[in-house]
Structure 1
Amino acid sequence: MAKRFTQSSINWSALAERVPAEQRVNLTGFKAKSDGYLRRVLANPPEAPKIDWALYKKTVPIPGMVDTFQKQYEALKIPYPADTQSAKVDAQWAEVKKAIDAFIAVSNANIAKYEKEIAETKALLPYDQMTMEDFRDAYPNEALDPINRPSYWPHSPEEALDYVDPEKQAHAAHH
């Protein structure tokens, strides 16, 4: 005999938290259908009613008819449908769980990286208290370095001392 359901196994409040606002109407309709189905199932007894075969044997005049019905009734087994979907759902959940775990791992790595950056930024001197030397020490690539990287106004790559025009260089390479 199949297991008798006595209540819904769905945590509706947890599900409602995850459903977007525009889908709440659909969730409410689905919950109403599910609750209605559960009420109809619970309205029926869990077992089929017992038949008083002795009473029928006394009242039915045809000999052997009640015995034949009784054998057929007791031999009748209504099969409960086999659960063919739970394994598929479990397999899908395993795949989704792997994706969730991978996302969590990547997110935790990003969080650690950003927390490190935040700690480094908080450890810096405030800009209003920083000297040019402090700025150079904190940001060596952005700081002005007139000896190693001289720059002339308008400070574009074309104005650098060792600038070579890529178009002229490509043209010279072809000839």
Structure 2
Amino acid sequence: MAKRIAQSSVNWAALAERVPAEQKVNLAAFKIRSDTYLRRVLANPPEPPKINWSVYKNAVPVAGMVDNFQKQYEALKIPYPSDTQSSQVDAQWAEVKKAIEAFVSQSNTNIANLEKQIAEIKSLLPYDQMTMEDFRDAYPEEALDPLNKPTFWPHTADEQLDYVDPDKPAHSGH
């Protein structure tokens, strides 16, 4: 026999924190249905009422009728519904756990890479103390190289001779 429910084992406040805003209405409706069910269960006694069969045996003149009813009443067992959903929920939870672990692993890798980048940046000289040579050594792709790649002032990409505007459609050679 299944154990009797005494109170709701759901922590609704913790559940509400995890539910997205667009699902709050569904959570509220589910909580109302759950509370209604719990009230209905608690309104009934956990065991069927006890019957004083001796009173009925004295009052009913038909022989064997009360004994027959008593036998049928005591043989009556209300079947408790079997749990068919827990295995599916457990399988779903295992998949979600794998996804969570993969996300945490990926996040930890990203954190380690970003902390390495932060350490590299902190190890550099502050910009206000750098010379042009220090900047070239730290950022060779961004530094000006007047000997190998000369540029026109103000040395931005759109001021150079080979600049192509990405917003303009390419001209066809007519």
TM-score, structure 2 normalization: 0.81
Which amino acid in the other structure matches residue 96 of structure 1?
V
- Residue 112 of structure 2 aligns to which amino acid in structure 1? A
Matches within 5 A, 1:82-97: 82-97=82-97
Query: In the TM superposition, what is the alpha-carbon distance from 1:33 to its structure 2 partner?
Result: 1.9
Q: How does 1:20-31 map onto structure 2 within 5 Å?
A: 20-31=20-31
5 Å-filtered alignment, 1:139-154, equals: 139-146=139-146, 149-153=148-152, 154=160
Cα distance in 2 for residues equivalent to 1:52 and 1:152 = 107
Count of residue correspondences? 157
Paired with 1:137 and 1:71, the residues of 2 have a C-alpha distance of 97
Moved more, 9-18 or 20-29: 20-29
Q: Report the equivalent of 2:53.
A: 53
Identity, % of aligned pairs?
72
In structure 2, relative to structure 1, the CA distance for the partners of 1:22 and 1:157 (3 Å cut) is closer
Partner SS, residue 50 of structure 1: coil
Gap regions ≥5 residues in structure 1: 159-175
Rounded to whole Å, the distance in 2 between the matches of 1:123 and 1:91 is 48
Runs of 4+ displaced beyond 6 Å:
none
Q: Displacement of 1:26 after TM fit?
A: 2.9
Instruction: Please give the root-mean-square deviation of Cα atoms over the aligned residues, in Å.
Output: 2.0
Q: Secondary structure at the match of 2:103?
A: helix
Deviation for aligned residue 1:13:
0.8
Partner of 2:11: 11
Cα separation, 2, equivalents of 1:85 and 1:33: 19
| TM-score normalised by structure 1 residue count | 0.81
CA separation in 2, counterparts of 1:120 and 1:156?
34
